[in-house]
C-alpha cells in the first residue's frame, strides 16, 4: 500500500470508525496497527511490518490465514448459492454440518441449532433451557446460575450472566445493570486467589460448594447452570482444579437442573480435547460453539442440545432464530475446517504445541513481578503483580499489563491484557514451534522491560 493510501485510511478511520471496547480519544491520538493482510499466524501492516498473532484473533484462528482449502470451500458454496436462510428451507451444508457436529460432540448432543456469534449461541441456549421448562410445566424455573467472572458474550442476555462475586470489578455489567435480568453466581475456582481461602494442596474443591448452597436454597427456581468448562479465559485465565467441572456437573444433575457448557472459546482442541467437557467425562444438556468453528473465516456458531431437550419442542416450535441462522457460506467453510481438523490432526498438534508453550512460560515464573502463570492447553495467562509475597496487584491506573502488551507489539507480537493485569496467550494450533518460542521469548522481554527486572 502506498503511503498516501495509508494516510487516507488513517484519516477516514479517525473520522468514521467506532471500535469495540476501545477508549476512542486514546485510539485517535496514535497511529494504530492496520492489518492489511495475513500469512499463517502473522499479520502484516501496510508498511510490510509483521506481527505474530498470539491471540489467534480472540481464539478464532484454527488453521492459519491463507488456507486454500477454506477459500475454495467458500468460493464453491458462493457459486452454488451465495446465501440461504433456514426459515422454511434447508440446504446441504447446514444439514451435513449438523450431523458432523453431533458426531464430534460429547455423547447425547444430537440436535444442532445454528446462529452467527458466540453471544447468540449462548442466548439460544438460555432461551432453549427456559422454554424447555415452560414446556415441562415449570415456568417458575427462570433463573440462571453462572460461575463468578464468567464471560459469555456482549448481548444483554449474556452480560446478565456475568457473575459478580469476584475480585475484579465488571465495568460492563455495572454500566448496563438496569437493563439486565437477575442471575446468581457461584464461586470461581481460582487457585491463585482462592475464594474459600484454601491452598491447592489442601483443596477438596470446596469452591464448588457454593453451587450446592445456591441450588439447595433456590430449589425449583433454577433453569440452568452455565459454565465455561475448565478454564475462564477472559476472567484472567482462571484454570479450574482437576475434578471441579465433574463436581459442578454432579451437583447440577443431582438437583435436576440443566447444564449449559459454553465452549465458544474452548472448542476444537484448544484445551487438549476436542471439547473441554470431554476431559472430565461431562456431557451437558446444551453446548455452545463458535469462533474457530469455521477456522475463524466466517461468523457461525451453534447450540447443541440433547434429544431430551429437543423432544420438549417437538410438538411446537422453538421461538428463536435469525436471518443468518445456518448461513450457507459459513456452514460450507465449517465443513472444510472440520476436514482439516481431522486430516491435519489439529488436536495432536495443539497438544504438542501446548508443551512448547509450557516450556516457554517457565522462565516467567522467576520474574519478581510475575505472580502466577496459568495454562490449560493453548490458553495461558501471566498475572503481573506489584508484590509477589502478598499477591498485591499494581494500581489499575498504572495499566501495567496494557503497557507490556503494547511493548510486545512494538517487538512484533500481539497478545491481550485482561482486567487484573493478566496477559492472555491464545496461540493458534497452527502456529509453528519456532514461532511460539518467539512469542513467549518476546513477551518475556516485554515484561522485563516494562517492570524493569
Ligand atoms: C466463552 C465465550 N462465550 C461467548 C463468547 C462470545 O462470542 P462472540 O464474541 O462471538 O459473540 C466468547 C467470546 O470471547 C467466549 O469466550
Question: What does the pLDDT look like over 402-412, one tens digit per residue?
Answer: 999 999 999 99
- Ligand 1 atom nearest residue 290's Cα: 10
What residue ranges define each of the domains in the chain, with the CATH number in brackets?
Answer: 33-63+345-451 (3.90.1150.10), 68-343 (3.40.640.10)
**CA 265 – ligand 1 centroid, Å:** 6
pLDDT for residue 164: 67
Best residue among 55, 119, 276, 426 to mutate for probing ligand 1's pocket (most ligand atoms within 8 Å of CB) is 119
**CA 452 – ligand 1 centroid, Å:** 35
pLDDT for residue 330: 97
The pocket around ligand 1, CB under 6 angstroms, is made up of 58, 117-119, 122, 151-153, 228, 233-234, 262, 264-265, 290
Among candidate residues 245, 282, 297, 268, the one with its CA nearest the CA of residue 377: 268
168 falls in which pLDDT band (50, 70, 90)?
low
32 falls in which pLDDT band (50, 70, 90)?
confident
pLDDT for residue 162: 87
- Greatest mean pLDDT among 8-17, 19-28, 319-328, 379-388 lies in 379-388
**What integer is the mean pLDDT of 414-434?**
97
Res 165 pLDDT > 60: no
- Ligand 1 atom nearest residue 58's Cα: 14
Q: Among 137-141, 325-329, 441-445, which is the least confidently predicted range? A: 325-329
Q: Report which protein residue has its CA nearest ligand 1's atom 4.
A: 152
**What integer is the mean pLDDT of 233-242?**
96
pLDDT for residue 91: 94
pLDDT for residue 170: 83
- Residue-wise pLDDT tens digits, 355-386: 999 999 999 999 999 999 999 999 999 999 99
**CA 261 – ligand 1 centroid, Å:** 12
**What integer is the mean pLDDT of 193-203?**
89
- Ligand 1 atom nearest residue 59's Cα: 14
Amino acid at each position: 500500500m502506498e503511503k498516501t493510501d495509508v494516510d487516507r485510511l488513517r484519516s477516514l478511520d479517525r473520522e468514521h470508525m467506532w471500535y469495540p471496547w476501545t477508549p476512542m480519544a486514546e485510539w485517535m491520538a496514535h497511529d494504530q496497527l492496520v492489518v492489511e493482510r495475513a500469512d499463517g499466524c502473522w499479520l502484516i501492516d501496510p508498511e510490510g511490518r509483521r506481527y505474530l498473532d498470539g491471540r489467534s484473533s480472540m481464539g478464532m484462528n484454527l488453521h492459519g490465514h491463507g488456507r486454500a482449502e477454506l477459500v475454495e470451500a467458500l468460493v464453491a458454496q458462493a457459486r452454488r448459492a451465495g446465501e440461504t436462510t433456514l426459515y422454511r428451507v434447508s440446504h446441504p451444508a447446514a444439514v451435513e454440518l449438523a450431523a458432523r457436529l453431533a458426531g464430534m460432540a460429547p455423547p447425547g448432543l444430537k440436535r444442532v441449532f445454528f446462529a452467527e456469534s458466540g453471544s447468540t449461541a449462548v442466548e439460544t441456549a438460555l432461551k432453549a433451557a427456559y422454554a424447555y421448562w415452560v414446556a415441562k410445566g415449570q415456568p417458575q424455573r427462570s433463573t440462571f446460575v453462572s460461575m463468578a467472572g464468567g464471560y459469555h458474550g456482549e448481548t444483554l442476555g449474556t452480560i446478565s450472566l456475568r457473575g459478580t462475586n469476584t475480585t475484579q470489578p465488571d465495568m460492563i455489567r455495572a454500566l448496563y445493570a438496569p437493563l439486565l435480568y437477575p442471575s446468581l453466581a457461584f464461586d470461581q475456582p481460582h487457585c491463585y486467589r482462592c475464594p474459600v481461602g484454601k491452598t491447592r494442596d489442601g483443596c477438596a474443591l470446596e469452591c464448588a460448594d457454593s453451587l450446592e448452597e445456591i441450588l439447595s436454597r433456590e430449589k425449583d427456581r433454577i433453569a440452568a447452570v452455565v459454565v465455561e468448562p475448565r478454564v475462564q479465559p477472559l476472567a484472567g485465565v482462571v484454570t479450574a482444579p482437576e475434578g471441579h467441572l465433574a463436581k459442578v456437573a454432579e451437583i447440577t444433575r443431582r438437583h435436576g437442573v440443566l447444564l449449559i457448557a459454553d465452549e465458544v472459546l474452548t472448542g476444537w482442541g484448544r484445551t487438549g480435547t476436542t471439547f473441554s467437557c470431554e476431559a472430565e467425562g461431562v456431557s451437558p444438556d446444551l453446548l455452545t460453539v463458535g469462533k474457530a468453528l469455521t477456522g475463524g473465516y466466517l461468523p457461525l456458531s451453534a447450540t447443541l442440545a440433547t434429544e431430551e431437550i429437543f423432544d420438549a419442542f417437538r410438538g411446537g416450535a422453538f421461538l428463536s432464530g435469525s436471518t443468518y441462522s445456518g448461513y450457507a457460506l459459513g456452514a460450507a467453510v465449517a465443513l472444510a475446517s472440520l476436514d482439516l481438523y481431522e486430516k491435519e490432526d489439529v488436536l495432536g498438534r495443539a497438544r504438542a504445541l501446548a508443551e512448547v508453550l509450557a516450556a516457554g512460560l517457565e522462565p516467567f515464573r522467576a520474574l519478581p513481578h510475575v505472580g502466577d502463570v496459568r495454562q490449560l492447553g493453548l490458553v495461558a495467562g501471566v498475572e503481573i503483580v506489584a508484590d509477589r509475597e502478598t499477591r498485591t496487584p499494581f494500581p489499575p491506573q498504572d495499566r501495567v499489563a496494557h503497557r507490556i502488551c503494547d511493548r510486545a507489539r512494538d517487538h512484533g507480537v500481539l497478545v491481550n491484557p485482561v482486567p487484573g493485569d493478566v496477559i492472555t496467550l491464545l496461540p493458534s494450533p497452527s502456529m509453528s514451534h519456532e514461532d511460539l518460542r518467539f512469542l513467549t521469548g518476546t513477551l518475556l522481554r516485554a515484561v522485563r522491560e516494562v517492570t524493569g527486572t
